[in-house]
Structure 1
Amino acid sequence: MRYIIIGAGAVGGVIGGRLAGSGHEVVLVARGAHFQALRDRGLRLRVPEGELTHRLPVVEGPAALGELRPDDVLVLAVKTQDSVAALQTWAPAPVTGGGTAAERLPLFCAQNGVESQRLALRLLRRVYGVCVWLPSTYVEPGVVSAAGSPLTGILHLGRHPHGTDETARLVAADLEKSHFEAPVVADVARWQYAKLLANLGNALEAVTGPVDSEEAAALFRRVRAEGAAVLDAAGIAYASTEEQQAVRGDKVTLVPLDGAPRGGGSSWQSLTRGTGTIEADYLNGEIALLGRLHGVPTPLNELLQHLANTFARERRAAGSMPVGELVRLAEEAVVNTR
């Protein structure tokens, strides 16, 4: 199989680099300065064993590849706010022997949140969800890093909306040869919703910096509890904290990387790169949406969604709001919903 990584940033770049390092054929899809750096200097992958450089084919879209191959696997790793554009670009791409990517190829959504595979299923017949537990960083064109050891990450895979098949098992086998654990599960959404609850802190981290004070940690616990209450009201199952810890154990322990400090997660990285967009609408905004559908107030998640979008739109510095100021705004938001 050939892996086409649509969005070779933190998650996509690490998955692509690790697959290439274990001998698999990989094509990276990128744009702008990142595309130029990957094309000119290769993918620089910083991991615990050192910096690895992979000279891989890199394209901006399917036209550069001509017809796609019947053994291609599409891995969607863009931020969810960029999913529609990417899907509309790749779904109609022709495949050798007839038909299109939408009709013939599998697409794995290796992204935060739960919305992209639903968007993908509107266009493609074979869609797979991936619960991404992969601490990784992309802030410099051409360079991605992943500090996890002994495993780089854990990626639960399954068909969307449910089930498993041979394709999922084949992809999982390739990932497990590439520094990942990749459980194939029939209920991948249950793991993704659990990860969604953890990702509700992404906006908090992006706005105020690392959640390393008791004040910030206490606020995150309230934000997560609000999210859990919404999922419970909606009847949506999610893996418990204890179940997640039992699976992960100490398999993905972060170690210091030379020249690659990990300043923050995916939303923090978006602000640091000054992209102008952020994924909060599909993390905190997912909770806000479900809260409105099921009659559960979500003032804290709505606040974080609003602030994260404001920071991205105005290109404010990541972590530039004092935690105390955010806590004050949170208390006001809660009072105003009573």
Structure 2
Amino acid sequence: MRYVIIGAGAVGGVVGGRLAEAGHDVVLVARGAHHDALRDHGLRLRVPEGELALRIPVVDGPAALGALRPDDVLVLAVKTQDTEAAVRAWGPAPVAGGGTAAERLPLVCAQNGVESQRLALRVFRRVYGVCVWLPCTYVEPGVVSAAGTPLTGILHLGRHPHGTDETARLIAADLEKSRFEAPVVPDVARWQYAKLLANLGNAVEALTGPVAGEEAMALLGRVQEEGAAVLRAAGIAYATPEEQRAVRGDKVTLVPLDGVPRGGGSSWQSLARGTGTIESDYLNGEIALLGRLHGVPTPLNELLQHLAGTFARERREPGSMPLEELVRRADEAVAHTG
């Protein structure tokens, strides 16, 4: 199989780089300065064993790739806010021998949140979800990093909306030859909703910096409990913290990487790169949506969604809001709801 990585940023770049390093056939899809750096200098993958320089074919879209192969696997690794555009661009792409990508090829959504698979299933017949537990960074064109060892990450994989099949098992086998653990599960959404609760803190980190200390952890706990209350009201199951710890163990231990400055998660990175967009609509906003559907107030997640979106649109620096101010606003939001 050949892996076409649509969105070769942090997650896509690391997954594609590790697959290529292990000898698998990979094509990266990127835009702008990142595309140019990958084309001219290759992918620089910074990992605990050093910096790898990988020459991997790169294109800026389906037209540049030409007809897709019948054995292609499309891996969607863009941010959720870019999913619909990517799906609409790649769905009609022709496949050698006839038909389109949407009709014939598997689409694997390696993204945060839970909405991308649903968007993809409107166009693609075969959609797979991934619960991405992969600490990684992309803030410089042509360079991605992943600090986990001995495994780079853990990627639960399954069909959307549920089930498994031989394609999922073949993909998982390739990932497991590439420094990942890739459990194939029939209920991948249950793992994704657990990851969603963890990702509710992404906005806190993006706004105020690393979530550390008693006050920051207390705020994070309130935000996540609000999210858990919404999932309970909606009747949505999610993997327990005990299940997650049992799977992860000490398989992905983070180590300092030479030349890689300490940064933050995916939302922090979006602000650091000044992209103008952020995924909070599909993280905190998912909780706000479910809260409205099921009659559960979500003032904290609505506040984080609004503030993160404002920071992105106005291209503010990550971590530039004092924690005390965010806590004050959170308290006011809860009081007004009450």
**Superposition TM-score tier, normalisation by shorter sequence:** over 0.9
Give the structure 2 partner of residue 65 of structure 1.
Answer: 65
Structure 2: how far apart are the matches of 1:59 and 1:212?
40
Q: How does 1:97-112 map to 2 (within 5 A)?
A: 97-112=97-112
1:271 aligns with 2:262: no
Structure 1 unmatched runs, 5+ = none
Give the structure 2 partner of residue 167 of structure 1.
Answer: 167
Structure 1: how far apart are the matches of 2:236 and 2:320?
35
Give the structure 1 partner of residue 260 of structure 2.
Answer: 260
- The one-letter code matched in structure 2 to 1:264 is G
- The one-letter code matched in structure 2 to 1:56 is I
Deviation string 1:250-293 (CA, Å, 9 cap, x unpaired) is 10110000001231000000000000000000000000000000
- The one-letter code matched in structure 2 to 1:200 is L
Give the structure 2 partner of residue 33 of structure 1.
Answer: 33
- The one-letter code matched in structure 2 to 1:260 is V
Give the structure 1 partner of residue 208 of structure 2.
Answer: 208
Give the structure 2 partner of residue 234 of structure 1.
Answer: 234
Structure 2: how far apart are the matches of 1:109 and 1:262?
27
Give the structure 2 partner of residue 118 of structure 1.
Answer: 118
- The one-letter code matched in structure 1 to 2:308 is A
Structure 2: how far apart are the matches of 1:109 and 1:174?
16
4+ aligned runs moved over 6 Å, structure 1: none
Structure 2: how far apart are the matches of 1:209 and 1:140?
19
User: Aligned with 1:336: secondary structure?
Assistant: helix
Q: How does 1:287-306 map to 2 (within 5 A)?
A: 287-306=287-306
Query: Is contact 1:285–1:301 with CA below 8 Å preserved after alignment?
Result: yes
User: Aligned with 1:23: secondary structure?
Assistant: coil
Structure 2 unmatched runs, 5+ = none
- The one-letter code matched in structure 1 to 2:304 is L
Structure 2: how far apart are the matches of 1:292 and 1:319?
29
Query: Is contact 1:137–1:262 with CA below 8 Å preserved after alignment?
Result: no
Q: How does 1:121-132 map to 2 (within 5 A)?
A: 121-132=121-132
Give the structure 1 partner of residue 10 of structure 2.
Answer: 10
User: RMSD of the alignment, in Å?
Assistant: 0.4
Structure 2: how far apart are the matches of 1:53 and 1:286?
38
Deviation string 1:183-207 (CA, Å, 9 cap, x unpaired) is 0000000000000000000000000
Give the structure 2 partner of residue 75 of structure 1.
Answer: 75
Query: Is contact 1:130–1:156 with CA below 8 Å preserved after alignment?
Result: yes
Give the structure 2 partner of residue 176 of structure 1.
Answer: 176
Structure 2: how far apart are the matches of 1:326 and 1:56?
43
Structure 2: how far apart are the matches of 1:261 and 1:249?
26
User: Aligned with 2:52: secondary structure?
Assistant: strand
- The one-letter code matched in structure 1 to 2:296 is V
User: Aligned with 2:253: secondary structure?
Assistant: strand
Q: % of aligned pairs identical?
A: 84
Count the aligned residue pairs. 338
Structure 1: how far apart are the matches of 2:336 and 2:32?
43
Deviation string 1:221-258 (CA, Å, 9 cap, x unpaired) is 00000000000000000000010000000101100000
Give the structure 2 partner of residue 308 of structure 1.
Answer: 308
Structure 2: how far apart are the matches of 1:67 and 1:34?
23
Deviation, 1:64, is 1.0
Structure 1: how far apart are the matches of 2:199 and 2:65?
35
Deviation string 1:60-96 (CA, Å, 9 cap, x unpaired) is 1111111100000000000000001100000000000
Deviation string 1:303-338 (CA, Å, 9 cap, x unpaired) is 000000000000000000010000000000000001
Give the structure 2 partner of residue 245 of structure 1.
Answer: 245
